[in-house]
Structure 1
Amino acid sequence: MGSKHFVMWVDRTSSLLRKQLGKREKIVLVIDNAPCHNRLTEDTMPPKRAWRKELITESLKRHRVSVPTKATKAELLELAFNNLPRKRYVVDEEAGKHDIDILRLPVKHCIFNPIELAWACMKNYVRDNNINFRLSDVRYLAEQWMTSLDAKPATAYLDHARNIENMFKKADSFAEQIGEEIVSEDEEVDSEEEEMFD
Structure 2
Amino acid sequence: MGDMLKPELYNFIKLNTPAYKKFAIDKILHDAGHDVSGLPPYHPDLNPIELVWAAMKSHVACLNIDFKFSAVLKHCDEFFNRFGSDEWKTRCEHTKKFEKEFIEGEPAVDRVVDEFVINLNQTGRDSDFLETEDEDSEGEEEDSRILGVQSVGDSIVYETNSDETYINLGG
Normalising by structure 2, report the TM-score. 0.47
More strand by share: 2
Q: TM-score by structure 1 length?
A: 0.41
Q: Which structure shows the bigger proportion of residues in helix conformation? A: 1
Greater relative contact order (Cα < 8 A, sep 6+): 1
